């Protein structure tokens, strides 16, 4: 042993020389400012109602940054993430964006999920002229009601998701649909765009039941569900979803309509929790499948390993720590879009922020691969929105199996806006 560890004078000199060449001092001298890190402000839901999502958005972000930096960073510069908690609160969200711009002096802001926080923060991003890359899936940005600094290049918006799954619902589950949705922006995206998409497919919405987001008991709403309902379309977000399902089960017993839900309700929740038995055999939308599928691509497998989730979509360190797999892939993919756009724009610093937005707008297609493990996508620069494949999964045998994957075209709609005509 001592032979291996002993240090000869020659090795020491070699090491010293290598150190002098590769040492941080020399590198910095050689590359000057060009190797300073790119600072990305991560607006994270560490606390508040979105905290479970926030935890996994942070893990996915760290994994993606690690992968990008290991492969040379962005144009040779490493990424540095600066995290600020927005409390899943719109007012705090706006403050966080301002803090990123003026105090942390980051290059851009990224990572917001909850739609009301996006809506609250976007005006500040526009005023301070700082690019704002969200991973929200809300229709806000694509609707054209935000501003040119806001982009959503990593996850499909709700309008497209809803539009793409509607024909499958009408064709496979039933024609008379009752919607149950949260009584705020995210729920309205569903309420506003599902009916038209269903009608196109020969089905119709027979009742729309809005539920206040703070509600903790649901039995009282169930009498509003028409008796002739064939499909119950449910989107619930928040901690009360387990109650919702349980009470639904108590109300209907073994009968009742077919269920189609958005996994948003059950992100970070073990699908085999007590009380969720009623969901057995029902269907869910998933952005990216929680459970490993038989036909997973190599890229998907590598992504899951990098983020640290097992075949059941739980943390590899804690089988009870369920991920938000259907959404968090958007963080991974958004960071790679930022990398792509920055490199295309020859981004040097905050003075190139406008170029960065323009370079993102110029992206048209995104190929499937390690950088985009969820699948290929089309980006519409006019509405700053990406469109991808959606998955419909069936809950059976205690896991979610993908039974249908929509095409990108299924979700496309006529853009209602064009950000590229707006001035910066």
274 binds another protein (CB under 8 A): yes
The span of 31-39, 141-149, 272-280, 323-331 binding another protein (CB under 8 A) equals: 272-280
CA 242, 278, 188, 130: dihedral to nearest 10 degrees?
50
207 binds another protein (CB under 8 A): no
216 binds another protein (CB under 8 A): yes
Residue number, 24 or 253, with CB nearest to another protein: 253
State the Cα–Cα distance between residues 254 and 27, nearest whole angstrom. 68
The span of 49-57, 123-131, 346-354, 411-419 binding another protein (CB under 8 A) equals: 49-57
Residue number, 219 or 364, with CB nearest to another protein: 219
Residue number, 62 or 252, with CB nearest to another protein: 252
Smallest separation (angstroms) from another protein to the CB of 276: 8
Binding residue count for another protein, defined by CB under 8 A: 35
275 binds another protein (CB under 8 A): yes
Residue number, 60 or 385, with CB nearest to another protein: 60
The span of 103-111, 194-202, 208-216, 285-293 binding another protein (CB under 8 A) equals: 208-216
Residue number, 165 or 268, with CB nearest to another protein: 268
Give the one residue of 31, 204, 214, 407 binding another protein; rule: CB under 8 A: 214
11 binds another protein (CB under 8 A): no
The footprint of another protein (CB under 8 A) covers: 47-49, 51-52, 54-55, 212, 214-217, 219-223, 227, 238-243, 246-247, 250-253, 268-269, 273-275
């Amino acid at each position: 042993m001592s032979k291996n560890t002993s240090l000869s004078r020659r090795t020491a000199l070699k090491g010293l020389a290598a150190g002098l060449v590769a040492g941080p001092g020399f590198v910095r001298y050689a590359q000057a400012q060009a190797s300073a890190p790119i600072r990305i402000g991560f607006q994270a839901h560490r606390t508040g109602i979105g905290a479970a999502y926030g935890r996994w958005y942070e893990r996915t972000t760290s994994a993606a940054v690690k992968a990008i930096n290991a492969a040379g960073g962005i144009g040779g510069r490493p990424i540095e993430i600066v995290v600020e908690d927005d409390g899943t609160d719109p007012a705090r969200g706006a403050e966080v964006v301002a803090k990123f711009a003026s105090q942390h002096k980051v290059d851009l802001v990224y990572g917001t999920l909850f739609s009301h926080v996006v809506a609250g923060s976007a005006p500040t991003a526009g005023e301070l002229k700082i690019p704002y890359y969200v991973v929200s899936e809300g229709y806000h940005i694509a609707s054209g009601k935000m501003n040119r600094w806001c982009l959503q290049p990593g996850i499909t918006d709700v309008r497209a998701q809803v539009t793409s799954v509607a024909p499958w619902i009408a064709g496979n589950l039933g024609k008379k649909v009752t919607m149950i949705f949260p009584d705020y922006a995210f729920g309205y995206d569903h309420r506003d765009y599902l009916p038209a998409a269903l009608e196109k497919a020969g089905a119709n919405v027979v009742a729309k039941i809005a539920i206040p987001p703070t509600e903790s008991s649901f039995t009282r709403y169930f009498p509003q569900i028409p008796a002739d309902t064939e499909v119950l379309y449910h989107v619930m977000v928040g901690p009360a979803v387990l109650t919702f399902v349980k009470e639904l089960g108590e109300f209907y017993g073994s009968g009742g309509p077919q269920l189609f839900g958005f996994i948003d309700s059950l992100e970070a929740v073990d699908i085999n929790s007590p009380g969720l038995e009623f969901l057995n055999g029902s269907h869910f939308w998933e952005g990216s499948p929680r459970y490993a599928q038989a036909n997973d691509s190599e890229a998907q497998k590598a992504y899951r390993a990098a983020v640290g989730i097992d075949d059941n979509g739980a943390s590899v360190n804690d089988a009870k720590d369920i991920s938000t797999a259907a959404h968090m892939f958007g963080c991974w993919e958004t960071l790679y879009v930022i990398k792509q756009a920055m490199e295309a724009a020859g981004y040097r610093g905050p003075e190139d922020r406008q170029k960065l937005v323009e370079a993102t707008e110029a992206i048209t297609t995104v190929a499937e691969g390690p950088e985009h493990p969820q699948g290929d996508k089309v980006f519409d620069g006019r509405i700053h929105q990406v469109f991808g494949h959606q998955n419909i999964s069936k809950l059976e045998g205690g896991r979610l199996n993908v039974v249908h994957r929509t095409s990108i075209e299924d979700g496309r709609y006529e853009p209602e806006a064009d950000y590229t005509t707006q001035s910066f």
